[in-house]
Chains A and B, each alone.
Chain A
Amino acid sequence: MNVDSIRDGIVIDHIAAGGGMKLYRLLGLENLDVPVALITNVVSSKLGRKDIIKIDAAIPVNFDVIGFVDPGATVNIIRDGILKEKKQMGLPERLVNVLRCKNPRCISCCEQELDQVFRLANPRTKEYRCLYCETKAAGI
C-alpha cells in the first residue's frame, strides 16, 4: 500500500499497533478538512507492527495527547518536503482538557469554566491524577 509523502505537515510514527485510531479521535482529526492518512498494522522492525498518522497540513497538534496515548511515538515535522524536526514523545507531566475528572465531589465537575488538569503521578504505571482532587484518571 502506498501513501504519498507529504510536503508540509506532520507524521506521527511508531504508534503501537491499535493506538492509531484512538489518537486520531483524541486529536480531533476527523474534524479537519485536510488530507489525513491513518495507516494501521504497518510492519515495523522496532515494534513488530505499528500505526502511522500522516497529516498533510502544517496544523498545530497537541503533543501532550500524543505522549499520553503513546509515549513511544515519534512526531516528524515536515516543511518543504524536508524533515525539519523529529520529536520523541514521552509521558507529559500535565494533561490539560484531555481527560475529565469523574469525581462528583471535585470542583472541576461543578465549575465548568475550569480547565480539566491532570498531573503525572506515577510514570511507571502511567497514572494520572486530577490536579484539584487527586482522583485517579479513568481510561479514555
Chain B
Amino acid sequence: MTQPVRSVIDILDLSPEELDRLMDTAEDIIARPERYREACRYKKLAALFFEPSTRTRLSFEAAMHELGGAVLSVTDAAASSAAKGESVADTAKTVSCYADIIAMRHPKEGAALVAARNASIPVINAGDGGHCHPTQTLADLLTIRREKGRLSNLTVGLCGDLKFGRTVHSLINALSRYEGLNFVLISPEELKLPSYVKNDALKARGIPYSQTTDLEAVIGNLDILYMTRVQRERFFNEEDYLRLKDSYILTPEKLKKARPDLSVMHPLPRVNEISVAVDDDPRACYFKQVLNGKYMRMALILMLLNLQPA
C-alpha cells in the first residue's frame, strides 16, 4: 500500500516521539556517517528558495548530497516562473514531476502550506516569511539535547526580536511540550512575543515565563540564551528598524554574569547582536547549531522519504 505523502510545515507537525526519533537518527548519522552515504541514491531534492538564504539552502543541499542524493535548485526568485506570476500551487505541482522532495523558502507566510496541499511529494518548510522555520528548530533541539543532555528542566532565555522571530516562535512551541521549562522573554517593548504564542504555547500549558527588557538582569539565571537578530526584512518602516536593531549586543563583559554552563545559541546570520569576541567562549554554541541543522535535515529527509540507511 502506498504511504500517504507527509510534509512538515510547522514544528508541531512532528510529535515529541518523532522529534526524539529524528534526533536519534541525527546522532547515528554523526556517529556512523558511512551508513547513510547511499541512503538517498537516485532521489532528488528540489531546493526552492524564493527568498535570500545561505545557510539553510546550503544545509539542505549538503544534507541531500551527504545522503547520496541529487539537488535541483531555484536560488533566485527573479529567474524563476514565480517572477512570471506563477502561483505557489502551480509551482508545487510542476516541481512534483521532477523531484522526490521539496524544501521551500518563500517570503509569504503560509506559502509552504499551499505548496504542501498541492504537491504530490513531501514539502519541507524552509521558512515562510516571519511564520515558521521548523528545520531551524530541529537544529536548535538537537543542539540543546547535545549540550545539556536533556530537553526538560531548563530555564531558556530568548532575546531580541521575539515579535517577528519565527525561530523563537517555533522553538517555544517545540519546547513547550517538555517538562519543567521556564522561559525568560527578553525584548524591547515593540518586539515582544505575540500574544497568540504566549496564549497557545505558554499560558494554555501553564508554563512559567517572565518578560523583561533587561538582559543583564536575568542572564545569570539562564541555562540557555537564545539570541536573535532584529530582521530588517520584517519591517515596513526603516526608522523602526534602525531604532531597534542594536537593542541587545552580547559581549564577553555581559557573559561574566552568566553561569559557566550557559549555552549561547543563535539561529544565524548575526549582524552585531553577538560580539565576535564571544565566539571563542566555550559557551558559544551557534556554529554547532549550524552543523546540527544539517544532520537534522538529513534525518528529516530520510523520514519523509521513508528511507532507511544501508
Contacts and interface: CB of A to CB of B under 8 A. Distances in A.
Contact of B110 (A108, A113, A121, A136): A108
Interface string A104-134: 0111111101100000011000000111111
B114 A134 contact: no
Given A113-B87, A133-B131, A134-B131, A107 B111 contact: yes
Interface residues of B, number: 18
Contacts of A133: 109-110, 129, 131
Interface string B124-137: 00001111000000
Contact of B113 (A109, A110, A131, A135): A131
B110 A130 contact: yes
Candidate in B108, B196, B199 with the most chain A CB atoms within 10 angstroms = B108
B163 interface: no
A105 B196 CA distance: 17
A108 to B, nearest CB: 6
Contacts of A132: 109-111, 113-114
A107 B114 contact: yes
B106 interface: yes
A91 to B, nearest CB: 17
B185 interface: no
Given A113-B87, A114-B114, A134-B131, A107 B109 contact: yes
Interface in A90-114: 103, 105-111, 113-114
B96 to A, nearest CB: 18
Contacts of B108: 105-107, 109-111
Nearest to B85: A111
Interface in B178-204: 196, 199-200
Nearest to B113: A132
Closest 4 CB pairs of A and B: A132-B110, A133-B109, A107-B108, A107-B110
Given A105-B108, A111-B108, 20 more contacts: A105-B109, A105-B129, A105-B130, A107-B88, A107-B111, A110-B108, A111-B89, A111-B114, A113-B87, A113-B89, A114-B89, A114-B114, A131-B110, A132-B109, A132-B113, A133-B109, A133-B129, A133-B131, A134-B109, A135-B109
